[in-house]
Amino acid sequence: MSQATVSLVLAGKKQGAAISDETRRKVLEAARALGYVPDPAARRLAAARNDLLGVFSFTATFPTDVQHSYYPFLVGVEQEAAARGYDLVLFTGSSSGGAGAAGPDALGRVRLADGCLFLGRHAPAAELGRLVGDGFPAVHIGRRDELEGLAWVGADYVSAAADVVAHLAGLGHRRIVLVREDDEAPASTDRESGFLAGLGKAGLDAGESAVFRSADPAADLTAARLRDWIADGVTAFVAEETDTGSAWRALHGAVREAGYEAPRDLSLALLGSPPPDLPAAHVPTGFDVPRPELGAAAVRLLAALVAGEKAGEPLVPCTFRPGETSGPPPAAPS
């Protein structure tokens, strides 16, 4: 009896009359006597596919807290992967300081999977470029169109940010300032673009003074600076959401230190969801990012790439959140 015949029987494959019922019976009886258990890894290797999808985060520590902003992404990833029959592999290069800290081929390990999802505010372009150039299926969760050939799925931050500005303008605010980190992360750029577009559509000032960029918002956004803005006629402030939450933390702290209260003295809005470890008296006006939906969309796109299919995912819309931190601007003192 040949090895090929045994393999076909154990794999449950039918080859017409080529393998008799008697031969199948003998093979299966021998397998039971020997305590044979099929090896799924060997089957996958033989098929040149592992049915494994990788997940790689560029944050310093892979999120394990259910309140972490990345956790809902992973929930969507897991549910969609399970529905499609894939297992997940979590790569831990981020625990040592990100992919770039481990050398020029730090992402090489992800090739153990059939394809890989990447997420994080700052991604190493060179390493990702090599993977994509080699034809390895890769999808980034979040816009990354600056990396040619890298597939991505993203939220429509531009429209969502413009909607928040429209809400504030509709309440009567004429001077609005955006607080953001000083970098070129695509999510930040999209939020600012939407913010400025919203100002322009409302006929409000969209000049340089409308955006406050800082590499260290906690140090630069002080109570004194906030009072100066208020004295200059600013009545509403908008902060971007990031994985650190530094812009919203700084704005929230400056408002508290200055003795102001929203929406009594000024209006506040957040382009995203507040950090869960920062208690707030009111739910902030802003929008919610559809993180589970983005994770699921990323898996669908990656599965299509692994199968060699051409596919794309549209921008996923965000949901406007009226919140409790915005209202009409306070009446000017008489």
* Tens digits of residue pLDDT in 58-107: 765 455 555 566 788 889 999 999 999 999 998 865 444 444 444 445 67
Cis peptide before 314 (omega within 30 of 0): no
Mean pLDDT of the 315-332 span: 92
pLDDT digits (tens, 9 = 90+) for 273-318: 877 666 666 899 999 999 999 999 999 999 999 999 887 777 899 9
Indicate the pLDDT class of residue 5, thresholds 50, 70 and 90. low
Geometric angle at alpha carbon 298, from 143 and 248, rounded to 5°: 50
73 vs 113: CA distance, rounded Å: 19
Question: Which helix (H) or strand (E) covers residue 161, if one does?
Answer: helix 157-170
pLDDT band at residue 185, thresholds of 50, 70 and 90?
A: confident
- Closest of 209, 218, 211, 147 to residue 178, by C-alpha: 211
Say yes or no to pLDDT of 209 above 80.
yes
Nearest to 270 by CA among 296, 297, 294, 242: 242
Count other C-beta atoms under 10 Å from residue 76's C-beta: 20
Mean pLDDT check: name the lowest of 10-14, 117-121, 160-164, 222-226. Answer: 10-14
Nearest-angstrom CA–CA distance, 281 and 222: 20
For residue 21, the SS3 value is helix
Residue-wise over 190-206: b if at least 16 C-beta within 10 A, else e?
bbbebbbbbbeebebeb
What's this model's pTM, rounded to 2 decimal places? 0.76
Mean pLDDT of the chain: 83
Q: What share of the chain is helix, strand, coil (3-state, %, to 5)?
A: 45, 15, 40
For residue 214, pLDDT beyond 60: yes
- d(CA 88, CA 239) in angstroms, rounded, equals 34
State the Cα–Cα distance between residues 178 and 191, nearest whole angstrom: 10
Tokens of 51: 């049915």
The pLDDT, as a whole number, for residue 108 is 78
Tokens of 186: 């695509």
Confidence of residue 53 (pLDDT cuts 50, 70, 90): very high
**Stronger pLDDT, 35 or 24, i.e. the higher one:** 24
Task: Output b/e per residue, 18-27; b: 16+ Cβ within 10 A.
Answer: ebeeeebeeb
As given in the structure block, the two tokens for residue 66 are 């259910």
Q: How many CB atoms lie within 10 A of CB 117?
A: 27
* Cα-trace Rg, the chain: 26
For the cut 90, the answer to whether the pLDDT of residue 323 exceeds it is yes
